[in-house]
Amino acid sequence: MFERLREVWRRSSTAGEAYPAELAFMLRNPLRRLILSPRGMVRRLDPAPTDRVLEVGPGPGYFSLELAQAVPRGMLLLMDLQPAMLAKARTRLSRARARNVRYQAADARALPYAEASIDLALLVAVLGEVPDKKAALAELYRVVRPGGRLNLTEQPGDADFISLAEITALAEQAGFQATRHWGGRSNYSAEFRRP
Ligand SMILES: C[S@@+](CC[C@H](N)C(=O)[O-])C[C@H]1O[C@@H](n2cnc3c(N)ncnc32)[C@H](O)[C@@H]1O
C-alpha cells in the first residue's frame, strides 16, 4: 500500500510522466478557480457555438463541462492517454447531461482524428507530459483546420511546466502562428492559428 502511494506520488512529480489518475481529485480542487476558472478558460477560447473542439488530456474534466456548454450545436472531443481519467470526465459530464461530448483513449502523438477536422484544440498542463512534443504538435497541426486555433495553457505547480518562449518555439516549428496570449510567466494561455 505504502509502495503504491509512493509510486503514485513519484509519477505526479516527475517531468515527462502522465499525471496519475489516482490523484485526479487534486485537479478538481475548487481553489484552481483562483488561477483560472472554467468560465475564464472559455472566455479565452471564445468558441463559436458550432465549433468542433478537441481537448487533449482533459483529465477528470475540470474545464470540460463549461466547454461542452459553450458549443451547444458543435461537439467536444475529449481524448486522454488514461482511460481512468476519461471515465471520471464521462461520469461528471453525463451527470450534467452534456450530450455533445465524445470520449477517446489515445496518445497525443497519434491523434485518432481526420486531417483538418478540428476548429479549436486545447491542452491545459498536458504538453510537458508528452515525451515527444514535436510529434504531438505535428499531429495537432494535421487535425486543426486551416484558420483553426490551438490553445496551449500552462499552470503553476506543474512538474512538467513549459515556458511561454519554449511552447511558442515548439508550436511555430510545427507550422502554427502565434496570435495572442494571456496571463503571466508561470500561468498563461497561448493561442496559435494554423495558417
Ligand atoms: C496534469 S493533467 C491535466 C488535466 C487537465 N487538463 C486539467 O488541467 O485539469 C495531464 C493530463 O494529460 C494526460 N496525458 C499525458 N500524456 C498524454 C498523452 N501523450 N496523450 C494524451 N493525454 C496525455 C494525462 O493522462 C492527464 O490526464
pLDDT in tens, the chain (195 residues): 667 667 666 677 776 789 999 999 999 998 899 999 999 999 999 999 999 999 999 999 999 999 999 999 999 999 999 999 999 999 999 999 999 999 999 999 999 999 999 999 999 999 999 999 999 999 999 999 999 999 999 999 888 999 999 999 999 999 999 999 999 889 999 999 999
In this structure, what C-alpha cell is assigned to residue 67?
Answer: 466547454
Q: Is 27 in the pocket of ligand 1 (CB under 6 A)?
A: yes
DSSP 19: P
- Locate cell 481519467: which residue? 85
Give me ligand 1 centre to Cα 60, in Å. Answer: 9
Point out which residues pair with 124 in neighbouring strands.
153
Give the atom of ligand 1 at the shortest distance from the alpha carbon of 59: 27
Atom of ligand 1 nearest to the CA of 109: 19
86 lines ligand 1 (CB under 6 A): no
Distance from residue 17's CA to the centre of ligand 1 (Å): 10
Q: How far is CA 25 from the centre of its chain?
A: 17
Distance 125 CA to ligand 1 centre (A): 7
Output the nine-digit C-alpha cell for 62.
475540470
- DSSP label at 32? G
32-193: in CATH 3.30.465.10: no
